[in-house]
């Protein structure tokens, strides 16, 4: 039941030149990519040790979720009732009653968080615009993982919460104001989310286009290769042979701008933080430079499968965090990831089942939805019987992911190395 390289005690050894610590860092960055599809980088620094300014991720659940899982002993050798829960969800078109043990259905008050972190430059640390904490990440030491601990900056945060009125969870996502820069280092958005630069630019460079999946065909993305030079822009590298463009893709802006209501809410909160700081003689606070990106509170159904959603609240339907769901398909997600065992299609999405019928990813109150964004993605876990929780669905995985060139082609690695050395 233990992953390779992890002892029965669950302990991982320190990496070479890493001083052993008496207590593990609370921020455990054991995810190195965006759910296996790409690796994300900031372009702010060059010639820094691996993993450079790669964004790494942590996921945690609150005590309510822990107590529910522990009380049912759904860990170790006892599998949760995923199959029975799936049958209940698809038959009743709703989640089972909350808190029961016959099916997986978390109690109200269950919270999960996912956060993205990266190494900061010395200048970024001095500016005081990032929340900084000690993090732990992993490298390979022979066949086993080893850990390193450093002070890194928070770049993104997801918070999802189940309530009695929202059994499909409520999804809120936040980002840091310096996440998106132009190639010369200018801010693409301000602290509240107003678009400042790249207003007429394509979201990605090169521009990514999609021939969406149909009942008879899989999605096709183009171009097949991307060789952007990011300079100070954030960029990502898709996983090898997953159906997405290969090479370095620069991020120029979001596919869907932050809605004005969210921008106004950010301005109100930042005003309150400034007033608090002034009243308490606080010179600066990093929380002035974080902003809400969007909130999904109720499911929305896409009326026409295979066609991009264009109805009300498009940005909310496709809610995504630019540092956590960065590539084309994560920015415009709906339906499901292409089913099957073909690695060359693993990064593709479809609104259809294998028999050609429309796929639904969120069930509630007798209705079936093809939802997009965070809720639609987590809805695949509901359909899988895990009550919207990928933590629950993957709870038997113990081995941390290690930073390194895994999943990057030799040509990509050479281009990436050349970019870093010539900045």
Alpha helices in 1-111 (DSSP H): 63-71, 82-92
Domain positions in the chain are 13-422
pTM metric for this prediction: 0.93
Query: Which residue reads 């929380």 in tokens?
Result: 287
Q: Which is it for strands 225-227 and 209-211: parallel, antiparallel or unpaired? A: unpaired
pLDDT digits (tens, 9 = 90+) for 307-351: 999 999 999 999 999 999 999 999 999 999 999 999 999 999 999
CA neighbor of 81 nearest in space, from 63, 91, 69, 93: 69
Q: Are 21 and 149 in contact (CB under 8 A)?
A: yes
The pLDDT value recorded for residue 135 is 98
- The pLDDT value recorded for residue 10 is 66
Query: What's residue 418's pLDDT?
Result: 55
Low-confidence ranges of the chain (pLDDT < 70): 1-10, 45-47, 395-398, 405-423
Mean pLDDT of the chain: 92
What CA–CA distances, in Å, run from 176 to 26, 146, 163, 188, 225?
20, 29, 27, 12, 29
pLDDT, position 180 = 97
The whole-angstrom separation of Cα 43 and Cα 49 is 14
The verdict on whether omega for the bond into residue 168 sits within 30 degrees of 0, i.e. cis, is no
The pLDDT assigned to 420 comes to 55
- Radius of gyration, CA atoms only, the chain: 21
pLDDT score recorded for residue 3? 36
């Amino acid at each position: 039941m233990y992953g390779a390289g992890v002892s029965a005690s669950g302990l991982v050894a320190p990496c070479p030149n890493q001083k052993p610590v008496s207590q593990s860092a609370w921020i455990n960055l054991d995810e190195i990519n965006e759910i296996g599809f790409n690796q994300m980088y900031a372009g702010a620094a060059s010639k820094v040790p691996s993993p450079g300014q790669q964004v790494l991720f942590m996921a945690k659940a609150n005590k309510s979720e822990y107590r529910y899982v522990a009380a049912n002993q759904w860990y170790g050798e006892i599998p949760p009732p995923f199959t029975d829960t799936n049958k209940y969800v698809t038959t009743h078109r709703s989640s089972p009653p909350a808190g029961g043990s016959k099916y997986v259905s978390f109690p109200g008050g269950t919270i999960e968080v996912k956060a993205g972190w990266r190494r900061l430059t010395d200048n970024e640390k001095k500016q005081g615009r990032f929340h900084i904490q000690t993090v732990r990440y992993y490298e390979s030491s022979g066949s086993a993982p080893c850990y390193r601990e450093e002070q890194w900056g928070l770049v993104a945060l997801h918070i999802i919460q189940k309530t009695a009125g929202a059994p499909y969870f409520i999804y809120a996502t936040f980002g840091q104001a310096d996440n998106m820069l132009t190639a010369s280092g200018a801010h693409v958005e301000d602290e509240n989310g107003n678009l400042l630069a790249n207003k007429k630019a394509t979201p990605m460079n090169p521009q990514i286009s999609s021939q969406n999946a149909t009942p008879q065909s899989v999605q096709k993305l183009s171009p097949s290769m991307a060789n952007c030079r990011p300079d100070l822009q954030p960029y990502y590298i898709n996983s090898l042979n997953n159906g997405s463009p290969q090479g370095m893709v620069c991020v120029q802006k979001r596919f869907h701008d932050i809605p004005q209501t969210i921008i106004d809410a950010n301005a109100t909160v930042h005003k309150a933080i400034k007033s608090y700081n002034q009243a308490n003689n606080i010179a600066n606070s990093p929380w002035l430079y974080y902003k809400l990106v969007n909130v999904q509170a109720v499911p929305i159904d896409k009326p026409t499968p295979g066609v991009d959603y264009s109805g009300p609240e498009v940005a909310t339907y496709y809610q995504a965090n630019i540092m956590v769901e960065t590539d084309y398909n994560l920015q415009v997600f709906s339906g499901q990831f292409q089913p099957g065992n073909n690695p060359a299609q693993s990064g593709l999405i479809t609104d259809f089942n294998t028999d050609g019928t429309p796929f639904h990813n969120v069930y509630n109150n007798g209705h079936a939805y093809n939802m997009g964004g965070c809720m639609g993605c987590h809805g695949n876990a509901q359909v899988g019987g895990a009550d919207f929780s990928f933590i629950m669905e993957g709870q038997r995985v113990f081995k941390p992911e290690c930073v390194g060139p895994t999943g990057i082609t030799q040509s990509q690695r050479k281009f990436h190395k050349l970019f870093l050395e010539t900045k």
